[in-house]
A and B are shown apart, each in its own frame.
Chain A
Amino acid sequence: MRVLVVEDDGETAEYICTSLKALGHVTKHASDGKQGFLDALDNDFDVIVVDRMLPGLDGLTLVKSVRGANVDTPILFLSALGGLNDRVNGLEAGADDYLVKPFAFSELSARLTALARRPPMQAEETRLQVADLEIDLIRHTVCRSGQEIAVQPREFRLLSYLMKNAERVVTRTMLLEAVWDFHFDPNTNVVETHISRLRNKIDKPFDQPLIHTVRGAGYSLHG
């Protein structure tokens, strides 16, 4: 995917770009807000990373301007602020996701992948399938190898999020935010516990595991 990185700190920008390139992505770096805005208008990026504090044009204004110019490329805010309302302010300005510095690259990469592949304006699918696992989003049913599996509502929410992001890595914090609306990190390993419950039902009775742990990053559901 093509990623525009608007970041004034040289070392961070270098770190993001090099790491993304290593994963096979194409990156472009803009070191100030104005350049970032002009680049964003080209509209040929799959996702944009914007630092909150930028010389020239601050990140919040940049995002508002980009949205004002009808560019709907997904944007991820990168911020060292992390204040009480910063996340909400960022999202209200038009960003799609928010990540506080310092961050792990795996977290950034997972979030960018999730953002970039979000299909624009596509009707919500009602049935999802990965390998022999099938779920119905309307009837809230789970089937594997034609065998119906009873899951609790919270397990269904977790599973459907993993299914929607099949093949991709989802991190602990992404799950906490998307499934439980937890915008902070509890010290206890709640996510691991939930995943292990889900595995007991989805994977354990079958030969091939579908939920995989990605070391140092999170989880991935794939065949």
Chain B
Amino acid sequence: MDSLKRKGPSALRTSIRLSLQYSFLYSVLSALVFALAYWFTQYEVQDWVFDQMRSDAATLVEIFELGGDEVLVDRVDALAEVSFQNARVYQLLNAEGAIVSGNLSSVFKNPLPDYLPAQELPLAGEIHDEVTGYWLRADDVGPYLLIQGAGDHIVLEILEALGMALVAGYLAVVILGLVVGVRIGRITERRIAAISNTLTEASCGNLASRIPTTRNARDDLSRVSTEINSMLDQIKRLLESQEQISNDIAHDMRTPLQHLRQRLEKLRDSPMIRPDDISASLDQTEEIIATFNALLRIAQIEGSDRRERFAWNDLREVIGNVTEVFEPTAEDAGIELTIKVPDEHLEVFGDKNLLTQLLSNLVENAIKHCPVGSKVLVLAETTPVGPTLRITDDGPGIECENRERIFRRFFRGEKSRNSPGNGLGLALAKAICDLHGAEITVSENDPGTTFEINFLR
């Protein structure tokens, strides 16, 4: 019980720790993916800006080739003019290195840097307030040198938007991961706690408690729960059977033991001991032992899963042997005992000893309860379902209300209350049938009784 209790909290930690570990791993991975996305985007946008400048330069080269110096200078001027808030800057230098056009007022030193902060650029007029610097590029346009610059605000804006999206997404993923992880952990923990509680309760003696299960769940925990529940069912059955046996012993063994004790006390106090008195006591002891053995045997058969000694047996052999044993007894009792078996094998998978005892008990029962002149028939046949064994008599029969109860331990009908026997024969027969997966039924034969045993294939 202690060990069960100790398992509870550790299982709790396991499930939550696992989900936390998953969330952590997930967030680290997400962070990595987001950082990569950020870096690629920056790279791609920058590339795109340079492409833009390259294609602008190519256009200007075409314009120069078509229209000559003036058109080129005008166009560069116009470009510089329309550039809103100096998002783009231009400078056209002639072959001598003098500025001929553009919105940059001084000449750069060689070599031209790829990037310059905005305040280091010789620029008149206001600058877009998100521009922090310019990417620069130089191209030859005919004899001229064209220097272009593009503000980095596009990249910054895109990256800003992307960054915000990424951070928001990242946070969402981490939080969701944590929430879902902890929740799954909690659910698992609760289910494990339910299993643990049920087991604890069971070990404390409450064998009626079961783990709640949903019918359609097919996950491993549900499977384990179902298995534990069926195990508890089995334990409960076994315990009930044991309790039944204790009750039986208390109920039906005390009386003969009391009688034995009385006899022995009388012997102790009597001045002369006759051998007959001692024999009677010994007979009484034998009877008690026989009852005890029969009870134990029923319990062993009922509690047994042990079919390792099972083998194929020809039912006809068992029938032949048992009827041979009982034939003289039947004859003495004035009862006609006949058998009817098929010509072919009638194979039953089972324990030969127990099958013999099963039939013996039923035949014995029939002989005992039938008056002189009765007929008892032992019949075996093959049905589509499997072999069937039938013991039919035309005796007094069994009252309807007793038919259910005759297989109970120590049940004895009114008529047989005073005849010898311990009331365990049919209970034993039933136990043997159960062990063999066979069904035993009793029905009215009009007149008489039929016991039918159906062995299932």
Contact = CB atoms under 8 A, between A and B. Distances in A.
B41 interface: no
29 contacts: A82-B293, A82-B297, A84-B304, A84-B306, A85-B306, A85-B308, A85-B309, A88-B309, A104-B282, A180-B321, A180-B325, A181-B321, A182-B357, A183-B353, A184-B356, A184-B357, A185-B293, A186-B325, A187-B364, A187-B425, A188-B326, A189-B329, A190-B325, A190-B328, A190-B329, A193-B328, A193-B332, A194-B328, A216-B279
B161 interface: no
A193 B329 CA distance: 6
Contacts of B360: 182, 184, 186
Interface residues of A, number: 25
Contact of A187 (B296, B297, B420): B420
A216 B293 contact: no
Interface residues of B, number: 35
Contacts of B51: none
Given A84-B304, A104-B286, A216-B279, 19 more contacts: A82-B293, A82-B297, A83-B300, A84-B306, A84-B309, A84-B354, A85-B306, A154-B324, A180-B321, A180-B325, A181-B356, A182-B360, A184-B360, A186-B364, A188-B326, A188-B364, A188-B367, A188-B368, A190-B326
A197 interface: yes
A205 interface: no
Interface string A162-193: 00000000000000000011111111111001
Given A84-B300, A84-B306, A182-B356, A216 B282 contact: yes
B193 interface: no
Nearest to A176: B325
B306 A187 contact: no
A134 to B, nearest CB: 24
Top 7 nearest A-B pairs by Cβ distance?
A193-B328, A193-B329, A184-B357, A183-B353, A180-B325, A154-B324, A190-B325
B422 A187 contact: yes
Contacts of B290: 185, 187
A36 B401 CA distance: 57
B289 interface: yes
Interface of A: 82-85, 88, 100, 102, 104, 154, 180-190, 193-194, 196-197, 216
Main secondary structure of the interface of B (DSSP, over half): helix
Nearest to B354: A84
B301 A84 contact: yes
Contacts of B77: none
A186 B324 CA distance: 14
A184 B324 contact: no
B421 interface: yes
Interface of B: 279, 282, 286, 289-290, 293, 296-297, 300-301, 304, 306, 308-309, 321, 324-326, 328-329, 332, 351, 353-354, 356-357, 360-361, 364, 367-368, 420-422, 425
A86 to B, nearest CB: 9
Contacts of A83: 300
B289 A102 contact: yes
Nearest to B326: A190
Nearest to A102: B289
Nearest to B329: A193
Contacts of A104: 282, 286
Nearest to B327: A154
A216 B296 CA distance: 25
A181 B359 CA distance: 14
Contacts of A154: 324
Contacts of A185: 290, 293
Given A84-B300, A85-B306, A180-B321, A188 B329 contact: yes
A82 B368 CA distance: 27
A182 B361 CA distance: 12
A187 B301 contact: no
B368 to A, nearest CB: 7
Contacts of A84: 300-301, 304, 306, 309, 351, 354
Contacts of B279: 216
B405 to A, nearest CB: 20
A88 B301 CA distance: 16
A183 B360 CA distance: 11
A99 to B, nearest CB: 13
Contacts of A184: 297, 353, 356-357, 360
A191 B304 CA distance: 30
Contacts of B357: 182, 184
Most buried by A among B290, B324, B351: B324
A181 B289 CA distance: 21
Nearest to A194: B328
Nearest to A103: B289
A3 to B, nearest CB: 24
Contacts of B297: 82, 184
Nearest to B282: A216
Contacts of B304: 84
Contacts of B425: 187
B350 to A, nearest CB: 12
Contacts of A182: 325, 356-357, 360
